[in-house]
Amino acid sequence: MWLVSVLAGLAAATATELYGLAARAVGVPMEAGNIGASVSGPITTGMFAMGTAVSVFWGTILAVLLARCARHPARTYLWTTIALTTVSMAGPYLAGATATSTKLMLALAHIVAAAIVIPVVTRRLSHAPGRGQ
């Protein structure tokens, strides 16, 4: 489980970082504020990869726990991570002092990472026996 998640996380971190660099290259403003903020700060190189790595770390902990404790670990992981990805979109959309193009670009970065990690980890969890089986 750990290896699959780490490899998926590395792929997702690389993809989101390249996506962020491409967005920067086409002129998307690389400044964002916190939720409700009146000022924004720079989105620096490496922030996409770091944010993805942190999320994948916690997702890996979730996957390991579900593999050990859930009756249907793959299904539970899939629906939980889809819900968490949806909730995570609130951050970009509610970011204060942030251009709309930046908000959309940041939200799409969440989807890019999720689209890489969630299917791979779900597939791995489908081979976990689950609790009580």
Is 94 contained in some domain?
yes
pLDDT for residue 128? 83
pLDDT digits (tens, 9 = 90+) for 66-88: 999 999 999 999 999 999 999 99
Give the C-alpha separation, 12 to 129, whole Å: 27
pTM for the full model? 0.94
The count of structural domains within the chain is 1
> Is position 11 within any domain?
yes
pLDDT of residue 133: 54
- Those residues of the chain that have pLDDT short of 50 are none
- Whether 39 maps to a domain, the answer reads no
Establish if 77 belongs to a structural domain.
yes
* Structure confidence at residue 132 (pLDDT): 60
Sign of the torsion angle spanned by Cα atoms 102, 45, 48, 14: positive
Give the pLDDT confidence score for residue 129 in this predicted structure: 80
Q: What's the distance, CA 126 to chain centroid?
A: 21
Domain membership flag for residue 29: no
